[in-house]
Chain A
Amino acid sequence: MRILGVVAVSLFVALFGRLWYLQALQSEQLQEVATLNIQETIRTQAPRGRVLDVNGNVLVDNRLSTIVTVNPEDLRVALVDQNIRSSDDQAEFRREMFTELARELSGSGQLTKLADLERAFNDPSFRQFEDIPVARDVDEELLIFIGERPNDFPGVKVEQDLVREYPYGARAAHILGYVGSITGAELEAKADRWTLVDPEDPENRLPDPFGKPYRSNDEIGKEGIERFFEDDLRGIPGTQVIEVDNFGNLVEVISSEAPQRGSDIVLTIDIDLQVELEEELKRALDRAREAVPPDPEDPPFTAPAGAAVIMDPRNGSVLAMASYPTFDPGDFIDGLSFDQKAALDDPTAHQPLLNRAVAEIYPAASTFKPFTAIAAEVYNVFGWDFVEEWDVPTSDPGYWDLKSCGLESDDRETALALGCRKRNAGDATMEGVDLEHSIAFSSDTYYYKLGEAFWIAPNDEIPDDGIQQIASQFGLGASTGIQLPGEKSGLMPTAQLKQQRHEDNPDAFPFGDWYSGDNANIAIGQGDVAITPLQLTNAYAALANGGTVFSPNIVSEIRPPERVQLDENGAIVRDEDDKPIMIEFEPIEFAPRVVREIDIPADIEAAILDGLLGVTMLEKTLIDRPGGTAYNAFNEPEEGGVDFDLINWPVAGKTGTAQVGNGTDRADNAMFAGFGPSGTTNWGTAVSEPEYVMVTILEESGFGSKSAAPFVARMFDLIATDEVPKALRQEEIDEFYGVTNIGEIGDPEQGPAEAPTEGADG
């Protein structure tokens, strides 16, 4: 019997030991878990910050939208009260209710399918006690319809919610971007953003009082400013920490914080100029499409897409940036419909979502020539061996025979077939070609010669990649660092790079050797030189301002909202009435960001400027010499140009006609890069500091002089004459055309929902 006593004593010793372990040794950790067990955090969405233009016009705002929500718990309780208890019967009731709701929504003008409602209702990210939005942006009439029939629609509520609003409609869409529901990957990427490392225990993380937690179904910036400044634009969600029992019943509200709206973003964009640039870009492409190629055998000018950028060369601020085709960010508010998505994805639509100004790469073509010229002066190519000094007029026979190509040999035909003769566009011949006129006439031969000289000159005298070095200093072939997502870097090809690419991927790049011809192509901005329109704008800004390369800004400041104050323990400071004390924050300003100063030799800089002015001002007077390539665009209204006051607002610019593909199946890209007002005494114009740089690239639109230059001329004319019209808001346009809201048809007294102007954070 004693054995039973021994067993009993040892078992009780074990129980005591375990009790001591749990309640004395482990107690602290387990108490923490117990506290978390009973708390639940309910979040309320905070309004996003707004986006404003440089003059304070609101480009992206929040507006109240009427939404329909269903609360599953309320619905269930109501059905049980109506004695509908089995889950099959409840599902049946729900189906009928949703069918009725879908019919009502469709009747009010918003086509809705039963499946849409059911899919929304079954979203697993919502809890049983939350209102689940099943339809957004619905007719306000629905409020009355549902409100009058609580028995038919138990648990269904018509509520107001904040959504994005775009006062200027689809304007500046590529800059502003759009918002959408957060994806699983985005949610994961943002997971650590609302916690801070515990200073006392680096393994541990503490909640960040200014953190911006996300949960599934939250909206997040997907593109443009909305994406790039997501962390600023997003508000701090309101939180309510409540104690619940195991059935989710509210036991006690532990703490409650109101949502705080996000920071406003102020752009450098001028919406008036932006709207005009978008309109003129579209018009330029339309005109290009109407034009007929000089040779009927050539591919037609399809002009499907294009981009244009206007920048202030004095500080690198982007004033306007357009990309065509474009899209309407408003389409994303309720999520894209199937048709809308199909339309955007259609290959014949030419990627409307793509911001071609920063995210598409193009050959630089003739707009590259000034940088080749600067390189030639910096590395003393002018006057070397077969190259004349820059101020010596030369004769251009219309082609340049590459010296290292064996044209002097017996097999001349083969050499020609191999491309040893580099030709001018249209084999044009010209006389009196010095550096200045090479730019005004756009002589390719002049630059082929320079390009080959770089390659065949001894490397200790002239570096092989001198052109690329100078172009790279101007920021060509590299990201500019603008505050927009998805910027492409482009490419500045060198012999080493070509070899490297060949070795890495011989299938895609079958040739690894660099020839004279490659250098000749580089010199005229062809070959593999690939730049974005923004890079070219930025490089011309540096030409215009005397060599200062900026990292361009499209945002001038971030204006944080006033915020609660925290004491050293991280607790919110409150006044006697228990209201948080709000403090204001200074705006964060984006000063001009100078990347580097380039020392451009003064004489060559003057010659280039005279040449660029010649592009717009040099009239054709002699038989053997052409005029400036953009003379017609800036002087001859009957030739599709404008009657421009070049004397008082001189424009320095360069046309470009870029071969794309193999040059036979697609028409050339038309380009123009220019700045003004910028004159020289040589041309007898006013001399002033350039305030505007503009670059445009029109895809498959033919000659830069015919389609791109007139577009820039029209824009500069509006600017020079101070006639940029005030941009109209969408509601003003709708008013003008007599477009009315569908909601107003039933009730003419009721106007459209008031758009909250000062952040509807209530």
Chain B
Amino acid sequence: MTALRAGTADFDRKEEGPLWIRIDISVILLSIGLLAMGLVVVYSATRGVLREGDVPDRSFLDRQIIFIVVGLVAGGITAAVDYRKARALVPVLYGFSVILLVAVLLFGTERNGARSWFSTGFADFQPSELAKPVMILVLAAWFSTVQSRERLEFVNVMIGLAIAGLLSGLVLLQPDFGTVMVYGAIVAGIVIVAGVSVRHVVIVLGLLVAAVWAMVTGGFLRQTQLNRFTAFADPASASRYNVNQAEIAIGNGGMTGTGLFEGTQNNSSLVPEKETDFIFSVVGEELGFVGGATLLVLFGLLLARIWRIAHLAENDFGRLIAVGVFSMFLFQAFQSVGMNMGMMPVTGIPLPLISAGGSSMITNLICLGLVQNVHAHRLR
């Protein structure tokens, strides 16, 4: 575990040039590549089965474009406000998130058995998505405050976990297990980089196992969610259907894919949720190994750039923000792609920058804005 660099931020240092010069242009280019790829496959997954005279359904595509525009604006604003100065806002954002997550439990719309959405006319809004950057910010702020000595003290680790635990607990009540897993990845990444001792990790993991065990036996997890997890190990179960069809779709693509709009698994709607959680099956089927590998390479390079930004960050707060975003993207990409290929259990986690869905898209672009923000204020 890398010890964080000590030292205070040099606020007197002059920033060189305007913001758009100081940001990481590679992150922009890689993101644009992923967004473009995402738009194409979301359109392919949602245009419908076309027969003679049928008009393709553009509604998903158009909305996705709007989400991206909104996300870019939100991300731009996030990048522009100096994160060091905005640090004071973190508790406010945290409080706001808690209020939203409580509100969604009370007034939200239930869909697929989870009360996770606020329904609006144009698009549904998912507060647990927007809580992701808040989670990153609050943990980065806390651990950068308490980590100034050699090792994190156990009590501080526990306080950090409690801060994260409140948000996670509220999301679990929806219940949305997938998002909680993403939260967990963010926590893990930040805590590790903040310098937790192995002994503390063991204790925390022990507590976590006990908590999960209590949830399972206490009936807090719904049977459908349990089924999805056990389906991972049981190829005959009915829940395995989605994964089977996704694997067939990906295999059907072969090296070069069936061609855009030509995937039979896609056109026959044999893979459920193919425009969101199972979007990678469409990539794999229609664009083949070439397309799938390209997507993974783009993600890999993006993560490498974020890792570099963390490395170059001017202070621990910025570094932990970048680490949090890194962990989130890494986990979501691995879980989503891995689930499509039958390596991971089925949980509703969208593929960042690719899957259809407004809350997720805007969240991801805000997170990239945060990373750019950190990069813009790096040490030279």
Stretch at the interface among A15-23, A304-312, A753-761: A15-23
What residues of B have a CB within 8 angstroms of the CB of A247 in the complex? Answer: 269
B264 touches A37 (CB 8 A): yes
Q: Smallest distance from the beta carbon of A728 to chain B beta carbons, Å?
A: 57
Decide: A22 near B296, CB < 8 A? Known: A8-B303, A251-B267: no
B-contact bits for A1-40, CB 8 A (1 contact / 0 none): 1111101100110111011101110110111011101100
Take A18-B341, A249-B49 as given contacts and tell me if A4 and B193 are in contact as well, using a CB distance cutoff of 8 Å. Answer: yes
Task: Kindly state whether residue B265 has any CB partner on chain A within 8 Å.
Answer: yes
A245 within 8 A of B: yes
**A245–B49 Cα gap in the complex (Å)?**
8
Q: B330 and A246: CB pair below 8 A?
A: no
Contacts of A33 in B (CB 8 A): 248, 251-252
Contact (Cβ within 8 A) A30 B251: yes
Q: CB-CB < 8 A to B250: which residues of A?
A: 19, 22-23, 30
Complex alpha-carbon distance, A35 and B270, angstroms: 12
| A residues less than 8 Å from B178 (CB atoms) | none
Chain A residue at minimum C-beta to C-beta distance from B272? A246
* Residues in chain A near residue B51, CB distance under 8 A: 251
A22 touching B2 by the CB < 8 A rule? no
Bound complex: CA A334 to CA B330 (Å)? 66
Expressed in whole angstroms, the Cα–Cα distance for A20 and B334 within the complex equals 15
List residues of chain B with CB within 8 A of the CB of A35: 264
Q: Is the CB of B264 within 8 A of A16?
A: no
Q: CB-CB contacts of A563-579 with B at 8 A, as 1s and 0s?
A: 00000000000000000
* Alpha-carbon distance A4/B264, docked complex (angstroms): 38
Are B284's CB and A246's CB within 8 A? no
Give Cα distance in the complex from A468 to B265, angstroms: 71
Asked if A333 is at the interface of the complex by the 8 Å CB criterion, the answer is no
Whether A245 lies near B248 (C-beta < 8 A) is: no
Q: Contact: A16 with B2, CB < 8 Å?
A: no
Indicate which residue in B192, B251, B300, B310 contacts A23 across the interface (CB closer than 8 Å).
Answer: B251
Q: Does A719 contact B (CB under 8 A)?
A: no
Measured between alpha carbons, how far is A19 from B293 in the docked complex, in Å? 8
Taking the closest CB of chain B, its distance from the CB of A3, in whole angstroms, is 6
Of the candidates A4, A11, A26, A243, the one whose C-beta lies within 8 Å of that of B189 is A4
Please measure, in the bound complex, the distance between the C-alpha atom of A22 and the C-alpha atom of B343, giving whole angstroms: 11
**When the two chains form the complex, which single residue of B49, B264, B334 contacts A11, counting CB atoms closer than 8 Å?**
B334
B323: A residues at CB distance < 8 A:
1, 4
The total of chain A residues at the interface (CB under 8 A) is 35
Report Cα–Cα, A169/B265, bound state, in Å. 54
Q: Which of B189, B264, B269, B270 has the most C-beta atoms of chain A within 10 angstroms of its own C-beta?
A: B264
Residues of A within 8 A of B348 (CB): none
Question: Cβ of A120: which chain B residues have Cβ within 8 Å of it?
Answer: none
Closest to A247 in B: B269
Q: A23-B251, A30-B248, A34-B249 are in contact. Are A7 and B288 (CB under 8 A)?
A: no
Q: Which of A2, A14, A23, A244 contacts B255 (CB 8 A)?
A: A23
Give chain A nearest CB distance to B124 CB in angstroms.
24
In chain B, residues 287-334, which have Cβ atoms closer than 8 Å to a Cβ of chain A? Answer: 288-289, 292-293, 296, 299-300, 303, 307, 310-311, 319, 323, 326-327, 330, 334
Checking A8, A14, A18, A23 against B254 with a beta-carbon cut-off of 8 angstroms, the contacting residue is A23
Question: Looking at B1, B250, B251, which has the most chain A CB atoms within 10 Å of its CB?
Answer: B251
Does the CB pair A31–B341 fall under 8 Å?
no
Return A40 CB to nearest CB of chain B, in Å: 11
Is A37 in contact with B248, judged by CB distance below 8 angstroms? yes
Please give, as numbers and ranges, the residues of chain A lying within 8 Å of B292 by CB-CB distance. Answer: 19, 23
B253 lies within 8 A of chain A by Cβ: yes
- Taking a contact as CB atoms closer than 8 A, the residue among A11, A30, A37, A249 that contacts B330 in the complex is A11
Please tell me if B112 contacts chain A, counting CB pairs below 8 Å: no
Assuming the contacts A8-B307, A16-B293, asked whether A23 and B284 have C-beta atoms less than 8 A apart, the reply is: yes
Q: Nearest chain B CB to A19's CB is how many angstroms away?
A: 5
Q: Given A5-B307, A247-B269, decide whether A24 and B189 contact each other with a Cβ distance below 8 A.
A: no
Chain A residues with Cβ below 8 Å from B319 are: 1
Kindly supply a per-residue 1/0 record for chain B positions 233-267, scoring 1 wherever the CB is within 8 Å of any chain A CB and 0 otherwise: 00000000000010111111111000000001101
**Is there an interface contact between A8 and B284, defined as CB atoms closer than 8 Å?**
no
Residue in B252, B269, B289, B330 whose beta carbon sits within 8 Å of that of A7 in the complex? B330
Contact with A34, one of B49, B265, B289 (Cβ below 8 angstroms):
B265
Q: Tell yes or no: B223 within 8 A of A by CB.
A: no
Chain B residues within an 8 Å CB radius of A5? 307
Q: Are B265 and A37 in contact (CB under 8 A)?
A: yes
Rounded to whole Å, the gap between the CB of A39 and the closest CB of chain B is 9
Which residues from B are CB-within-8-Å of A7? 330
Q: Are B255 and A24 in contact (CB under 8 A)?
A: yes
Does chain A have a CB within 8 A of B95? no
Most B-side CB within 10 Å, residue of A5, A11, A23, A34: A23
A277 to chain B, nearest CB (A): 61
Q: Roughly how many angstroms separate A280 CA and B189 CA in the complex, as a whole number? A: 99
Q: Which residue of B lies closest to A246 (CB)?
A: B269
Of residues 153 through 192 on chain A, the ones whose CB sits less than 8 Å from some CB of chain B are none
Tell me the bound Cα distance from A37 to B252 in angstroms: 11
A30 touches which of B247, B255, B337 (Cβ 8 Å): B247
Tell me the smallest distance from the CB of A5 to a CB of chain B, in Å. Answer: 6
Given A15-B337, A249-B49: A22 and B251 interface contact (C-beta under 8 Å) = yes
Q: Assess whether B268 is in contact with A4, with CB atoms less than 8 Å apart.
A: no
Alpha-carbon separation in the docked complex, A246 to B250 (Å):
17
Contacts A4-B323, A31-B251 supplied; 6 other A-B pairs, CB < 8 Å: A3-B192, A18-B343, A19-B296, A34-B252, A34-B264, A251-B49
Query: Top 10 closest A-B pairs, CB basis?
Result: A30-B251, A34-B252, A246-B269, A23-B289, A1-B2, A27-B254, A245-B268, A18-B341, A11-B334, A38-B268
Sample 10 A-B pairs with CB under 8 A, ordered by A number.
Answer: A3-B192, A4-B307, A15-B296, A22-B251, A22-B341, A23-B250, A23-B292, A30-B251, A246-B268, A251-B51
